[in-house]
Structure 1
Amino acid sequence: MSLKKKNILIVDDNYDMLDLMQRHLKGFNYNTYKASSANEAIEVLKYASIDLLITDLNMPDTNGFELIKYSKEHYPILPTLIITGMPTIENAVNAIKTGASDYLVKPFTSDELYQTINRSVLKNTNDSYLSNPVTSVSEEINYAGIDGRSEQFKNLVDIIERVKNNKVNVLIEGESGTGKELIARAIHTKGSLANMPFICINCGGIPETLIESELFGHTKGAFTGAKESRIGLFQAASGGTIFLDEIGNAPLFLQTKLLRVIQEKEITKIGAVNTEKIDVRIICATNSDLHKMVLDGTFREDLYYRINVINIKTTPLRERKEDIIFLVNTFIKKYAIEYHKPSIKINEKINDILLRYSWPGNIRELENIIQRMIIMTDDIIDLQHVPKQLKYHIPEKTEPFKSLREYEKDQILKILAAVDNNKTKAAKILQIDRKTLNQKII
């Protein structure tokens, strides 16, 4: 069993009860999160790793039953405990039906609370062990070239473990630089097809006039310049995996042909009459919103559902910052070897800068910056090696352009304010007469 403190989320619209519960739980050596409504609780659940949800039953807007229903569908292994000051047999029965692990009636003693919480947490640990025989990856820090320690990383590894030995179609979606190709390679190299070909194709990197020939091959004389028959990349990947990167850039005519390949498991060379059967796993990736493209009519709906059997969404680096320092150390080790600088170190102050930055280019941007900083130093990566765009900056105040008359008026008003609105003194300072001064401030 893990020795780390358990995280408990308390939900109650009574702030006095929230504070009382928090004091009890801290005394039991638990970490606590508080929410005064179901909506607040849902936000906490999205971004924190919670081990037990304790909720009041009667709350405005959304009650405890509704919150438990939500948690059971979105976080099925999360144990839940209902507390209420208005106990009824009906409520107790509904609590169990809804999925609550336990039910506690106010007022309760500290011992009752402690025993109920321990019972709920222990029950969940045992149930999870019995129902989830998948290999644990909690200690994994490098998986087939993918690095991380965050919950998002562990969830990603779990998905890969589940699909690696299946030839099911996989769609990897996410921003540029989040490691979509690395994930595709991990699915291939960790699974039963590891000794078979892995062919990677950028659907936006091949001209439309050539892409059909590249993917499916052609016969001799099929078109001008086709001096001999040639197999395509689908045939080259036979028995293994073909990775179609940036599938959203595939032209519509190619989407139609890909749909047939997926449906019929066969291809037709350009210029050929007969089809050829293929046996290949197809993994697609995109940084586009394919669902929106379907609605816009730029991506075939039937193809979208064919390739999207297993969906993997990569997490941008800004949403898993706990991985940043680990990735930094990984890249330092990598490039210290490549550039023959085995003793290179990094100033710890730089970590705060790296954690603050939003990383629009994700892992690829982080790796490029670490590589650049290592090149620019011989021993210690210091603050002067950090690119300017990462450092703290104060936005420049921009004002709209003004006419010369407006600048004159502003200056006169400043001087008037400095001399207690004495126009004679102001006119003398400006070396103009009072009449001119009056005209200029109209």
Structure 2
Amino acid sequence: MINKKQIKILTLDDEVEYTQTLFHILSNSGYAVKTSNSPIEAFEMMKNESFDVVITDLMMPTIDGIQVLKHIKEYYPKTQVIIITGYGTIENAVEAIKKGALTYFIKGHDPENLLQEIENIKSMKEEGVLKNLDNEKQFSEVNGFLLETKSKVFAKTLEIAQKAAKSNVNILILGESGVGKEVFARFIHDSSRRSSGSFVPINCHSFSESLLESELFGHEKGAFTGAAATRIGRFETADGGTLFLDEIGDTSLDTQVKLLRVLESKSIQKVGSNASKKLDFRLVSATNQNLQEEITLGNFREDFFYRISSIVIRIPPLRARKEDLESLIAFFMKKAQKEQMIKISNMEPEVKNFLLQYDYPGNVRELKNIIERLVVLSEDGVITKDTLPICTNYEKKLVESRGFEIKPLKDIRKDFEIEYIQKVLHACSGNLTEAARHLAISRRQLFNKVSDYGLK
């Protein structure tokens, strides 16, 4: 049987007090609950964590409940949506049900009615009315990446990942930068029996050796200078779920020894503590390095390699599955238009030819970034060849024919940032606070950039 804690709920309302009220009602009833007061923040939370139910207010500034519903139904079709409404907007709530919401709840009514609706969702999940996440063929998108494919080699990789997910063994994901290794790790987690637990990612390259140890194991108060309070590490956070160690090839030999002990004992000790704690997690690791070569060079322990690689999944580069380019381009184009709130009506043939012929050394991530650039720099809904980045031999030929000036990468990045900030400011009617919110930076940071670039 599925218990209440396995039903994960996200509440969304621009009124802080109301989200706090819902949090207490739902958490006191035994559900796992997270809250948000901003649709943009909620969308980011949903990228990183799966929810069974989203309870959203209907009337919110900028992005309302109907728009939230459309976003969820497009990108997270297995998530159920309950609309929160007032007496004056019941007709709109009924309209939301026609568009895919499960039901609505009127503010001020007995919360038992809301709890009963969630119990109904729980029952549907138990009875299989709501399909389990490990059902094959259900996955089309994970964390903003399309997983549908016409490529036999990529389809085989997905098949291996689905089979591996049903086990409890440690998995090593190999592939070039940008192929979507974290996407596969999340896919494995969501396809596994641990999907109700946490997916905890950490990039080993982002931390020094000492900081990585503290980040993974946690520490006791006073364990080292600056340890002002006890902290739970990523291992403990992943208890009952999946720990994803990206860039595992960048860990030191000393760190590898400590990780090996954890994998062998399934227990940890916080930094500064002698007490051991048993944990239940599954490890998924990833790297773009050749670990066999690193073992030969003495940079990677062979015993650690065999411990983390019970199953090895090699993700093919994008150039090896060009039959997927058409659908990927369409997918990222649609996504970029929605995120940037820019409607594209036409694309010059040269741009389409480039997108289909380019080899994408940065793989899917590079394709996504190029599409975003093209959408942002479009004029009146038209994507022109003049907005293509300068990065390939194919493009150099275009450069020669157009007389483009080749600039250092830092200048291109600066130019792009200036153009993008200008477009966002224009879309927000010059409101710095609103623009900073959409850019996901502080108002001060945006003000400094406006000043540095001489924008008005």
Fold-level similarity (TM above 0.5):
yes
What amino acid is aligned across from residue 146 of structure 1 in structure 2?
L
Map of 1:200 onto structure 2: 201
What amino acid is aligned across from residue 387 of structure 2 in structure 1?
H
Matched, 1:387 2:392: no
Map of 2:290 onto structure 1: 289
Relative to structure 1, the CA distance from residue 248 to residue 170 in structure 2 (aligned partners, 3 Å threshold; closer, same or farther) is: same
Map of 1:218 onto structure 2: 219
Map of 1:340 onto structure 2: 341
Distance 2:376 2:390 in 1: 17
Map of 1:189 onto structure 2: 190
Query: Contact 1:239–1:280 (CA<8 Å) still a contact in 2?
Result: yes
Map of 2:280 onto structure 1: 279
Map of 1:150 onto structure 2: 151
3-state SS in 2 of match to 1:188: helix
3-state SS in 1 of match to 2:197: coil
Map of 2:44 onto structure 1: none
Map of 1:368 onto structure 2: 369
Query: Contact 2:142–2:183 (CA<8 Å) still a contact in 1?
Result: no
Matched, 1:266 2:249: no
What amino acid is aligned across from residue 278 of structure 1 in structure 2?
L
Distance 2:140 2:217 in 1: 39
What amino acid is aligned across from residue 250 of structure 1 in structure 2?
T
Q: CA deviation at 1:242?
A: 0.5
Q: CA deviation at 1:261?
A: 0.7
Relative to structure 1, the CA distance from residue 141 to residue 268 in structure 2 (aligned partners, 3 Å threshold; closer, same or farther) is: closer
Distance 2:385 2:282 in 1: 47
Distance 1:379 1:351 in 2: 15
Q: CA deviation at 1:140?
A: 7.1
Q: CA deviation at 1:318?
A: 1.1
3-state SS in 2 of match to 1:267: strand
Relative to structure 1, the CA distance from residue 185 to residue 344 in structure 2 (aligned partners, 3 Å threshold; closer, same or farther) is: farther
Q: CA deviation at 1:153?
A: 2.4
Query: Contact 1:165–1:193 (CA<8 Å) still a contact in 2?
Result: no
Q: CA deviation at 1:223?
A: 2.2
Map of 2:77 onto structure 1: none
Query: Contact 2:154–2:315 (CA<8 Å) still a contact in 1?
Result: no
What amino acid is aligned across from residue 368 of structure 2 in structure 1?
E
1:173-202 CA-partner distances (Å, limit 9, x unpaired): 111000000000111122221221111111
Q: CA deviation at 1:251?
A: 1.1
Listed as ranges, the gaps of 5+ residues in structure 2 are 1-133, 401-456
Query: Contact 2:178–2:365 (CA<8 Å) still a contact in 1?
Result: yes
Map of 1:209 onto structure 2: 210
1:346-425 to 2 correspondences below 5 Å:
346-377=347-378, 378-390=380-392, 391-393=394-396
3-state SS in 1 of match to 2:316: coil
What amino acid is aligned across from residue 161 of structure 1 in structure 2?
Q
3-state SS in 1 of match to 2:206: coil
Map of 1:316 onto structure 2: 317
Relative to structure 1, the CA distance from residue 256 to residue 311 in structure 2 (aligned partners, 3 Å threshold; closer, same or farther) is: same
1:10-409 to 2 correspondences below 5 Å:
137=137, 142=141, 145-147=145-147, 148-377=149-378, 378-390=380-392, 391-393=394-396
The structure whose Rg is larger is: 1
3-state SS in 2 of match to 1:389: coil
Query: Contact 1:140–1:149 (CA<8 Å) still a contact in 2?
Result: no
What amino acid is aligned across from residue 203 of structure 1 in structure 2?
C
3-state SS in 1 of match to 2:166: coil
3-state SS in 2 of match to 1:368: helix
Q: CA deviation at 1:150?
A: 1.3
Q: CA deviation at 1:149?
A: 2.4
Q: CA deviation at 1:270?
A: 1.5
Number of positions where the alignment pairs a residue of Structure 1 with one of Structure 2: 262
3-state SS in 2 of match to 1:271: coil
Query: Contact 1:171–1:285 (CA<8 Å) still a contact in 2?
Result: yes
Q: CA deviation at 1:293?
A: 0.3
Query: Contact 1:152–1:320 (CA<8 Å) still a contact in 2?
Result: yes
3-state SS in 2 of match to 1:244: strand
Listed as ranges, the gaps of 5+ residues in structure 1 are 1-133, 397-442
Q: CA deviation at 1:135?
A: 7.6
Query: Contact 1:150–1:320 (CA<8 Å) still a contact in 2?
Result: yes
3-state SS in 2 of match to 1:359: coil
**Aligned-residue CA RMSD in angstroms?**
2.3
Distance 2:219 2:273 in 1: 7
Q: CA deviation at 1:289?
A: 0.6
Q: CA deviation at 1:388?
A: 3.5
Distance 1:140 1:285 in 2: 21
What amino acid is aligned across from residue 322 of structure 1 in structure 2?
E
1:7-28 CA-partner distances (Å, limit 9, x unpaired): xxxxxxxxxxxxxxxxxxxxxx
Distance 1:197 1:135 in 2: 19
Distance 2:184 2:261 in 1: 26
Q: CA deviation at 1:343?
A: 4.3
Q: CA deviation at 1:392?
A: 4.9
Relative to structure 1, the CA distance from residue 312 to residue 236 in structure 2 (aligned partners, 3 Å threshold; closer, same or farther) is: same
Q: CA deviation at 1:324?
A: 1.3
Relative to structure 1, the CA distance from residue 211 to residue 189 in structure 2 (aligned partners, 3 Å threshold; closer, same or farther) is: same
3-state SS in 2 of match to 1:239: coil
Q: CA deviation at 1:205?
A: 0.4
3-state SS in 2 of match to 1:329: helix
Query: Contact 2:146–2:328 (CA<8 Å) still a contact in 1?
Result: no
Query: Contact 2:171–2:310 (CA<8 Å) still a contact in 1?
Result: yes
Distance 2:139 2:186 in 1: 18
What amino acid is aligned across from residue 189 of structure 2 in structure 1?
H
Distance 1:227 1:353 in 2: 54
